[in-house]
Structures are given as structure tokens and as C-alpha cells.
């Protein structure tokens, strides 16, 4: 089965340890950015927030998509997170133009979608429905998808937050090259829908707990139980011995530390695969 595998990280123009790698640089790939917003809604507020996001805001996001401002929009509930996670809902907007991330032309879009609704009332209803915990901006480094699939996606995802500070510096190569082949094998076997890697751009500085993330997108929750390890690595890299594979697993661990992993469920979306 053919795969769309895009590497968008400019520092990876040279493939470094697999001469026959299936990963390739597509010079037509655009740079993509994610704005991830983390929200908290509690008690009776949850129903109001779901209605606000799925009924009030989704048509606005559809119009933003129609105008080419966003490439996709996804809305998630958090199924599992750390015990102190202060949020339970996530929205992700994908952009190809960094200058449009800050709600570009939003007033005009709201007025065009809801000509009879006052913009201030619209925003007040939104603010009353949930609390904003934090916002982040990420850059897409690489994506692995089915041929014909335009964006990663699935009913569930696991997001893995990593800190590469103090590591060996190989984390991008390990994720995109060594693990990329393994994720491609998982997609071939219908274990995984798609996969992507992202670097955190903002916030920056030493206060942040992680520097990059990977996301595994699944169609079925049960697929999360499928093991990911040596057996798949042998299939993905048939030319490497077990000793060589173990060395690459070790190098992956030395390249970064894992901060946390969370499981999210998608409850709303607008994407090129839907339109």
C-alpha cells in the first residue's frame, strides 16, 4: 500500500542512515502550523460549552476553511491525562499562513455567518461557556498518511509530549526515520490511521515542560492495545539485525525524555477529507 510521507523539517534535507529510506523530501510541501487551545468546562457548563463549540462556532470554522484561512479544525475531549491536568477539552486549528493564526478577519466572518447576532454577544457567550487554560503554537515536522489522505486524523489520538533538551540531538531523525518506517507498517496493517510530529514554537523558554510532540491517530480505540516494538521494527526494517534495531531503540531513548502521554477523543472536525 502506498503512503504519503511528508518531512517538513528543514534540517532533515539529508537522510542519514537508510540509503533506501521510503521517507523523502517533497519540495512542494507547505509549512504548517497548529494552534492548540486547552479548555476547562465543568458541571452544567459542559453542555453549554459543547453546544457553543459544535453549534455556534463550527459554522464559523467552516467559513474560515472555505476562505482558506485554516486548513482544518478539530475538537477533542480528553479521555485520559495526568492527575493534575487542568483542562478537559482541546481545539486544534491548522494554518499554512502564520500571520492568520490570531483569529484573522474574525469579526467579518462572524457577521457573515450570523448577520443577526451581535459580535460582542457572540464572544461573551463563548467566554461564559468555558475557561481558557492555555494556548500553544506548533510547527508540523512530518506526517505519515494513506495515499489520497489530505490530513492526519482519526476518532482517537494519543499525544506524546517530549523534551529533547539535554538529549543527543537525534530526536527528529529517530522519530521521522527509524520510527517513521514502523508507523508506516502500522498504517499498512490498519493499526494506525496516521501519524505526525510537531515542534513547539510558543510558548518558549525554560518554563515549558516539553519541546516537541508526536501524535498517533486511531480509528478504533482497541488498536491502542496493539504492541509497538521489536516485532514491527523487524518488518519495517528488514535489512537490520536485532542488535542494530536495539541500538536504534536505545538511541531514541537517549535523544529525548517523555513528559506525558494523553488520550483524546475527537468529537467534531472540519478537514479537507470531510469537504
pLDDT digits (tens, 9 = 90+) for 218-249: 999 999 999 999 999 999 999 999 999 999 99
Q: Does the structure show a pLDDT above 90 at 15?
A: no
Confidence band, pLDDT 50/70/90 cuts, at residue 161: very high
Residues 182-202: pLDDT tens digits?
999 999 999 999 999 999 999
Q: What is the pLDDT of residue 1?
A: 52
What pLDDT does 46 receive?
96
Residue 242 neighbours by CB under 8 Å, 6+ apart: 230, 234
Q: Map out the domains of the chain with their CATH numbers.
A: 3-11+29-270 (3.30.70.100)
Query: What is the number of H-type helices and E-type strands within the chain?
Result: 8, 9
Half-sphere exposure (CA, 13 Å, Cβ side) for 143? 20
The C-alpha cell that represents 205 in the structure block: 523558554
Least confident stretch, 80-84, 223-227, 253-257: 80-84
The answer to whether residues 153 and 74 touch, using CB atoms and an 8 Å cutoff, is yes
Per-residue confidence band for 274, with pLDDT thresholds at 50, 70 and 90:
low
Q: Mean per-residue pLDDT for 86-95?
A: 97
CB atoms closer than 10 angstroms to residue 256: 24
Total-model pTM: 0.89
* Residue 83, pLDDT score: 75
Amino acid at each position: 500500500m502506498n503512503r504519503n510521507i511528508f518531512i517538513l523539517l528543514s534540517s532533515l534535507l539529508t537522510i542519514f542512515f537508510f540509503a533506501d529510506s521510503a521517507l523523502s523530501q517533497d519540495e512542494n510541501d507547505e509549512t504548517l502550523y497548529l494552534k492548540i487551545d486547552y479548555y476547562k468546562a465543568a458541571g452544567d457548563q459542559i453542555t453549554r460549552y459543547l453546544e457553543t463549540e459544535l453549534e455556534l462556532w463550527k459554522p464559523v470554522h467552516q467559513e474560515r476553511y472555505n476562505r482558506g484561512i485554516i486548513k482544518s479544525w478539530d475538537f477533542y475531549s480528553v479521555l485520559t491525562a495526568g492527575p493534575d491536568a487542568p483542562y478537559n477539552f482541546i481545539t486544534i486549528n491548522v494554518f499554512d499562513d502564520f500571520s492568520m493564526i490570531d483569529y484573522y478577519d474574525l469579526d467579518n466572518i462572524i457577521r457573515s455567518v450570523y448577520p443577526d447576532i451581535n459580535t460582542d454577544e457572540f464572544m461573551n457567550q463563548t467566554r461564559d461557556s468555558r475557561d481558557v487554560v492555555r494556548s500553544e503554537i506548533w510547527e508540523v515536522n512530518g506526517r505519515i498518511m494513506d495515499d489520497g489522505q489530505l490530513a492526519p486524523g482519526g476518532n482517537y489520538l494519543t499525544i506524546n509530549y517530549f523534551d529533547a533538551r539535554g538529549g543527543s540531538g537525534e530526536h527528529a531523525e529517530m522519530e521521522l526515520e527509524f520510527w517513521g518506517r514502523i508507523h508506516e507498517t502500522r498504517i499498512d496493517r490498519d493499526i494506525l490511521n496516521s501519524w505526525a510530529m510537531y515542534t513547539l514554537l510558543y510558548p518558549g523558554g525554560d518554563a515549558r515542560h516539553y519541546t516537541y510532540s508526536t501524535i498517533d491517530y486511531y480509528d478504533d480505540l482497541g488498536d491502542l492495545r496493539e504492541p509497538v516494538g521489536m516485532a514491527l521494527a523487524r518488518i519495517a526494517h528488514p535489512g537490520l539485525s536485532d542488535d542494530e534495531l536495539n541500538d536504534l531503540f536505545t538511541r531514541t531513548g537517549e535523544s529525548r525524555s517523555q513528559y506525558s502521554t494523553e488520550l483524546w477523543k475527537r468529537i467534531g472536525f472540519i478537514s479537507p477529507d470531510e469537504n
